[in-house]
Amino acid sequence: MSGGPKYEYKWADGEKFKKPASLPAHEYITHLMEWVEKQINNEDVFPSNPGVPFPKTYQGICKKILTRLFRVFVHVYIHHFDKIVSIGAEAHVNTCYKHFYYFVRTFKLVDPKEIEPLREMSEKICK
């Protein structure tokens, strides 16, 4: 999946894709959403019973999930924003992005180097 001319995101999940693989965006995103669902439904990672502690790896897993989800924003803004504008959804997508951006930046959940592809846009719309 491409994040513009400087960025290529390869998929690896440690199971089916042990080595990072170049995939078209729709396949990358499909694998990503399935992987995120698997993580969220894993009681060892996200326990749902009161009193069950979160694992020591919890924050790292959350960072990985949010970093990979951020890459979808990168791809959409760089490759499909004209389509979003054409259907009148720009304000909605920007609002969704801003909420995501403020959350991950406030809690330092996505490394600043990952945000670089959308840095200029983020500086403009996330004042």
**In angstroms, rounded to a whole number, what is the distance separating the alpha carbons of residues 94 and 124?**
11
Joined tokens for residue 91: 């304000």
The answer, as to whether pTM is greater than 0.95, is no
Banded pLDDT at 127 (limits 50, 70, 90): confident
Do 45 and 55 form a contact (C-beta atoms < 8 A)? yes
Per-residue model confidence (pLDDT) at position 113: 96
Query: Where do the structural domains in the chain lie, given as residue ranges?
Result: 25-125
Q: Which residues of 26-50 are buried (b: 16+ CB within 10 A; e: fewer)?
A: eebbebbeebeeeeeeeeebeeeee
Per-residue model confidence (pLDDT) at position 109: 98
Question: What is the dotted CATH code of the domain comprising 25-125?
Answer: 1.20.140.30
